[in-house]
């Protein structure tokens, strides 16, 4: 085997390979990492799994500084540094936190079956029974996402939107213990993983709010040269999720989008067709472009030549899936982005980025 691997010997003299999984120390990150560890233990009972929690100087940086670079991107960099130094063998992320272009030497070795990718409304306890439609005029809704705010401002003009920061626990505490917010918007997947479905008052469908690229999917990042680790985690790939997320990530990468601009998507696989809807918005939602395209992802299931076995597509290596379906998904994302760019998407996003940077 390649690489500086770690082994342990038990009391009976049996030697086991150690796989070290890096994670952020937030409750949600630990839950997601534990679920991956359980899957790997079930598949590889002879492997010993260690979970390495990462703390970062980011915890100590003021919110204002963090808002410019993003707390999540800070953690992502810390985790990648640990991966680069061989302190961990793989890292578990929410896919939506990973950039569409990864640093050299890294790849996404698995994209797990997606949870509900939609956003959810969590109401202040005094507003129970209401929805975004029925909340009183000037009710304040908390969200840290430009994408959510842009769409919801247009859809619910009677509401006001304000930033709310912190992890899930912190945001729920701010909602419940202060009177600043009538409701907050969070990813449904995170709430479900935390066991907080009872707090969900409303799931926002695509007609109200399309989701972020990769939202609801867990990704495993590995060193691209560690072929045996890649083989090990690749069995966790969910084919439909992989194809949907390749299309979404290709769309975002072509638009040169990120967290600092409002870009939203919706994908669906039906009858061997992959449907991608993508949209860009001005910060207040008044200006937008939205289009849908589709492509065939049918596979003849022939055993393919494995010449492109380690090809990355928008950072994803899926060597156990048909290449043509992945190529078609990537092309779909590029084609849809090019269509929006031809209609003026770049101007909308450039202005949105400038206005956001000036805030």
pLDDT single digits (tens) 57-73: 444 333 333 344 455 56
d(C-alpha 282, C-alpha 112), whole Å: 32
pLDDT at 331 over 50: yes
Residues 55 and 186 in one domain: no
User: How far from 154 is each of 150, 284, 286, 290, CA to CA, in Å?
Assistant: 7, 7, 6, 14
Token pair, residue 211, equals 């989701």
Which of 178, 203, 228 marks a domain boundary? 203
pLDDT of the residue at 61: 35
pLDDT of the residue at 178: 86
Active-site choice (34, 63, 89, 97): 97
Q: Give the pLDDT mean for 81-97.
A: 93
List 121's β-bridge partners, or say none. 185, 202
Token pair, residue 174, equals 């701010």
Residues 102 and 170 in one domain: no
**Residue at 83 is within a domain:** yes
Q: Give the pLDDT mean for 259-286.
A: 94
Residues 6+ apart with CB under 8 A from 62: none
**Residue at 208 is within a domain:** no
Identify whether 97 is a catalytic site residue.
yes
pLDDT at 32 over 90: yes
Higher per-residue pLDDT: 289 or 14: 289
Q: What is the pTM of this model?
A: 0.89
pLDDT at 315 over 70: yes
Lowest mean pLDDT among 19-28, 57-66, 139-148: 57-66
Residues 62 and 36 in one domain: yes
**Residue at 272 is within a domain:** yes
Residues 6+ apart with CB under 8 A from 97: 72, 73, 75, 76
Among 217, 212, 231, 29, residue whose Cα is nearest residue 113: 217
pLDDT at 263 over 90: yes
pLDDT at 307 over 60: no
Domain membership of residue 159 as a residue range: 119-203
Residues 244 and 289 in one domain: yes
Residues 40 and 176 in one domain: no
**Residue at 209 is within a domain:** no
């Amino acid at each position: 085997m390649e690489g500086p691997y770690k082994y342990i010997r038990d009391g009976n003299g049996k030697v086991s390979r150690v796989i070290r999984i890096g994670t952020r120390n937030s409750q949600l990150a630990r839950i997601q990492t534990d679920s991956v560890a359980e899957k790997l233990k079930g598949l590889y009972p002879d492997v010993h799994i260690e979970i390495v929690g990462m703390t970062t100087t980011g915890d100590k940086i003021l919110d204002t500084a963090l808002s410019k670079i993003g707390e999540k991107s800070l953690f992502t960099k810390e985790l990648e540094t640990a991966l680069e130094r061989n302190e961990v063998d793989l890292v578990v992320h929410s896919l939506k936190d990973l950039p569409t272009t990864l640093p050299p030497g890294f790849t996404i070795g698995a994209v797990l079956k997606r949870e509900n990718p939609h956003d959810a409304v969590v109401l202040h306890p005094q507003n129970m029974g209401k929805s975004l439609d029925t909340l009183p005029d000037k009710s304040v809704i908390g969200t840290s996402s430009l994408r959510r705010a842009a769409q919801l401002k247009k859809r619910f003009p009677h509401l006001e939107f304000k930033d709310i920061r912190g992890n899930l626990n912190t945001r729920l505490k701010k909602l419940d213990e202060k009177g600043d917010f009538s409701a907050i918007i969070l990813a449904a997947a995170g709430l479900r993983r935390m066991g907080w479905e009872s707090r969900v008052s409303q799931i926002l469908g695509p007609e109200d709010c399309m989701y972020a690229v990769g939202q609801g999917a867990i990704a495993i990042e590995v060193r691209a040269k560690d072929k045996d680790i890649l083989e090990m985690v690749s069995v966790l790939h969910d084919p439909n999720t992989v194809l949907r997320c390749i299309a979404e990530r290709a769309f975002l990468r072509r638009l040169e989008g990120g967290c600092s601009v409002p870009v939203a998507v919706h994908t669906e696989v039906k009858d061997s067709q992959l449907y991608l809807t993508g949209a860009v918005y001005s910060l207040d939602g008044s200006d937008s472009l939205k289009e849908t395209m589709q492509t065939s992802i049918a596979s003849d299931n022939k055993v393919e030549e494995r010449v492109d076995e380690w090809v990355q597509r928008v950072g994803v290596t899926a060597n156990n899936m048909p290449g043509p379906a992945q190529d078609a998904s990537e092309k779909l994302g590029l084609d849809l982005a090019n269509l929006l760019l031809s209609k003026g998407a770049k101007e909308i996003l450039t202005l949105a980025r400038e206005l956001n940077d000036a805030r």
